[in-house]
Amino acid sequence: MPKGDQKLGAELWSSALPRLAQRVGNATYDSFLRNTAALGLDGEDFFLGVPTQFAKEWLEQRHGEVIAECLAEIAKHPVRLHMEVTDSVQTPPPPIAAAAPAQVASAGVEVFGGTALNPRYSFDNFVVADCNRFAHAAALQVAKSPGHSYSPLFIHSRVGLGKTHLMQAIGLYAKQANPARNVVYLSAESFVNQVITAIREGHTEQLRRRHRNVDVWLVDDIQFIAAIEGPASEEEFFHTFNTLCETNKQVVIASDAPPRQLKIMNDRLRSRLEMGIVADLRAPDVETRIAILEKKAAAEGIDFPREVLEHVAKKIESNIRVLEGALLKICAYHSLYQVPLTVPLVEEIIADYSTSSTDKHVTLEDILSHVARALSADPKEILGPKRSKEIVWPRQVAIYLAREVTDKSLAEIGAFFGGRDHSTVLHAYNKVGDLLANDEEVLWFINDLKAALRGE
């Protein structure tokens, strides 16, 4: 059923899609946005047709705001978004791998059950720095010899720090090196959906064969396996995962939490995930953020004054996706109005980008004094050589928080906490991580400390 002006709606939606792809990421775009169609625009009301109830809920809950925002930016007036499940959604736009300016010949990595890879997410476009050096090295190694080095490779980080980028880089690289390879990239949500459909339609055998017959299996956002559906899909996932590992195929998993903190029920799955290489991505420091912005600005073909990039990099600290969003907004403004980009102008353009919890900059000294107070320990002893139990615990907690709340490197944290080496820092971090995964009291204690540090 058309709603309001159909043509206007369609135009608005087709200009919004490429931007949305940037904002929501390739996986969500391909799983949920590609198969939508504008139904019409009626004043400020925009009607969007989506293929399933699941897609509707997913988009509304997670991306409703950003979609409305994107539409409003293009329409230049506020937009209210309404979604409807429609039977036939015609002519889906192309996958963004094809829509995006191709920097490498699109490897055409699309097999049944997977999502097309985005050529923008190549190793060449990935800025390597302390915050991601290890994960990058492991990913490159895996891309060069899939199945032979580290399987599974488990990459985890907070949102927007490059997990999807690295996974897709692995896929692109492995496929380009050998086009005969069967590379599958998919999000865990899409895996879960496939399992549900397969069970409903009695195709589980086929599904198994498809997923077990791959050379490189890249599963993104695995936290959804547990969050969405529970045992059936988790079991199915576990079996596929095992089969692939046992036949020396390459498995790469991305997650928002380390294996020990994942809410999965299957302990064997958890321990197998831990058996491979576990690499995390940390928030980039300001220099790295500037380097990333420079790279993206160059790709957009816009010459940004250095001080403008610095301003953006300083304002947006924690999430590279948000950083990119801000840059794109500036680029859009610039190409629309053709005005020189100055710091005050840019400040205005990105005024609504909140720096939220990162507004308050937490230092290692803050952490030391907070922890010392909370656990009645002497700060000097925390930094000192003593290894008695009473002082080791506060030290470990402080180190854990330093790694969670600041963007300091292992070396910097170790140096601050009494000149300890990076393996000591990692050990402390894992120790506390283990404890809080298993002990709710510790979890609450640490969460409270975190909130206090961030001034929440």
* 325 lies in the site for ligand ADP, by CB under 6 A: no
Q: Candidates 3, 63, 163, 329: give the one binding ligand ADP (CB under 6 A).
A: 163
Strands in 183-187's sheet, in edge-to-edge order, are 183-187, 216-220, 250-255, 153-156, 277-280
Partner interacting with residue 13 (select from ligand ADP, Mg ion, none; CB below 5-8 Å by kind): none
Phi, psi of 249 (to 5 degrees): -95, 165
Size of the site for Mg ion (CB under 5 A): 2
Ordered alpha helix ranges (H), 145-203: 163-177, 188-201
Partner interacting with residue 249 (select from ligand ADP, Mg ion, none; CB below 5-8 Å by kind): none
* 207 lies in the site for ligand ADP, by CB under 6 A: no
Q: How far is the CB of 259 from ligand ADP (least distance, A)?
A: 16
Site stretch for ligand ADP (CB under 6 A), options 47-55, 202-210, 320-328, 369-377: 320-328
164 or 318: CB nearest Mg ion: 164
Which residue type occupies 43? G
- Residue with structure tokens 């019409």? 40
Partner interacting with residue 190 (select from Mg ion, ligand ADP, none; CB below 5-8 Å by kind): none
List the beta bridge partners of residue 80. Answer: 45
Exposure class string for 354-392: b at 16+ Cβ within 10 A, else e: eeebbeeebebebbbebbbeebebeeebbbeeeeeeebe
27 or 37: CB nearest Mg ion: 27
Exposure class string for 417-451: b at 16+ Cβ within 10 A, else e: beebeeebbeebbebbbebbbeeeeeeebbeebbe
Residue 39 near residue 48, CB atoms below 8 Å: yes
**What kind and span of H or E run contains 456?**
none
* 161 lies in the site for ligand ADP, by CB under 6 A: yes
Subset of residues 141 to 160 that bind ligand ADP, contact rule: CB under 6 A:
157, 159-160
Q: How far is the CB of 125 from ligand ADP (least distance, A)?
A: 6
Residue with the CB atom nearest ligand ADP in the bound state:
162
* 240 lies in the site for Mg ion, by CB under 5 A: no
Q: Which two tokens stand for residue 325?
A: 């969003």
Ordered alpha helix ranges (H), 178-257: 188-201, 204-212, 223-224, 231-246
47 or 173: CB nearest ligand ADP: 173
Q: Candidates 31, 164, 168, 187: give the one binding Mg ion (CB under 5 A).
A: 164
Partner interacting with residue 161 (select from Mg ion, ligand ADP, none; CB below 5-8 Å by kind): ligand ADP
Site stretch for Mg ion (CB under 5 A), options 30-38, 80-88, 158-166, 448-456: 158-166
Q: How far is the CB of 372 from ligand ADP (least distance, A)?
A: 33
Q: Pattern 104-143, binding to ligand ADP, x per CB under 6 A?
A: -----------------x---xxx----x-----------
Q: How far is the CB of 295 from ligand ADP (least distance, A)?
A: 6
Q: How far is the CB of 356 from ligand ADP (least distance, A)?
A: 17
Q: How far is the CB of 160 from Mg ion (least distance, A)?
A: 8
Partner interacting with residue 437 (select from Mg ion, ligand ADP, none; CB below 5-8 Å by kind): none
Size of the site for ligand ADP (CB under 6 A): 18
Cα–chain-centroid distance for residue 302?
26
Site stretch for Mg ion (CB under 5 A), options 95-103, 156-164, 423-431, 437-445: 156-164
Q: State the Cα–Cα distance between residues 234 and 253, nearest whole angstrom.
A: 14
Query: Residue 382: which of 393, 105, 374 has the closest Cα?
Result: 393
- Give the pairing of strands 37-42 and 45-50: antiparallel
* 162 lies in the site for ligand ADP, by CB under 6 A: yes
Q: State the Cα–Cα distance between residues 396 and 417, nearest whole angstrom.
A: 10
How crowded is residue 250: how many other Cβ atoms within 10 Å of its Cβ? 27
Residues forming the site for ligand ADP (CB under 6 A): 25, 121, 125-127, 132, 157, 159-165, 292, 320-321, 324
